Amino acid sequence: MMDSKRTHSSNWYQAITLSERITSLHAIDGAKATAMSVDSDLAMRRMNQWRSQQPFTTDSRFSQRVALDGISEAEFLHFLGEPAESVRKRFFAPPSWLVALLNAFSTIPPANALPFPASSAAGKGAAFIEALEPVIRRGRDRLREGINALVQSRFDLPFDRETTTNSVHLGSEVWMLSSGPRQN
C-alpha cells in the first residue's frame, strides 16, 4: 500500500508539468489564484532563462509559445515563481504519474521477471541502474502488455511478439551496459 505522506510531499509537485499546472490553476476560483504567493525574483530569473533561449529571444515567438497553452505571459510568470506547496494544495489527489512512480518502487518484481545485468557487468553505472530498475521493469511490463493487446486484436502485425519482447529486454540490457559515465 502506498504511503500518502510520500505523495503529499511538496517536493514531488516541483515536477508538475506546465499543462498540469494550467489545468489545476484554472480549476480553482480566480480570486484564490491571484492571491497565491509567488516568488517574484525567482519568477524573473526563470523567465530570463527562458527568454535567453532560441527561439524565445524574439518577443513574438515567446508570445506564440505561451499562447499555445492558452495562457498569458503574466500567468506563465506566475507559474515560474509559484512555490511547490501552492501547486500541491491545488491537487485533491496525487497525479497519476506520481502514483505510478511510487507503485513501481513499492512493487516486488515477480519471480519470473526478466533479469537485469549483474552489477559488475554494468560497471560504474550499476548503482544508477539498480536505482531505476523498478521503473525500467514497469516500462518493459507495460510495453509487453501493449504488445499482447495488439496480438489479441490484430492478425497482421508487422513484428513477431516473442522477438519484440526479447529485443526490448536485450535492448534495455545493452543500454544499461553502455550507459556508464561519459568521458569528455
Q: Is residue 113 part of a domain?
A: no
Residues 27 and 65 both lie in one domain:
yes
Q: Is residue 141 part of a domain?
A: yes
82 & 14 share domain: yes
User: How confident is the model over 124-174, as pLDDT tens digits?
Assistant: 666 777 777 788 888 888 888 888 888 888 878 787 767 766 665 545 554
Least confident of 5-9, 31-35, 116-120, 169-173: 169-173
Tell me if 99 is assigned to some domain. no
Q: Are residues 11 and 79 in the same domain?
A: yes
DSSP 83-140: -HHHHHHT-SS--HHHHHHHHHHHSPPPTTPPPPPPHHHHGGGHHHHHHHHHHHHHHH
Contact 62, 56 (CB under 8 A): yes
- Determine the distance from the C-alpha atom of residue 117 to the mean position of all C-alpha atoms in its chain, rounded to a whole number: 25
What confidence tens digit (pLDDT) does each residue in 85-138 have?
Answer: 989 988 888 898 898 888 888 877 666 665 655 555 556 666 777 777 788 888
Residue 162 counted as domain residue: yes
Q: What percent of the chain has pLDDT over 90?
A: 23
* Residue 126 and residue 80 in one domain: no
Long-range Cβ pairs for the range 44-50 (8 Å, 24+): 44/77, 44/81, 46/80, 46/81, 47/76, 47/77, 47/80, 50/80
Residue 70's domain spans which residues?
Answer: 4-93
Domain total of the chain: 2
Domain boundary among 93, 109, 142: 93
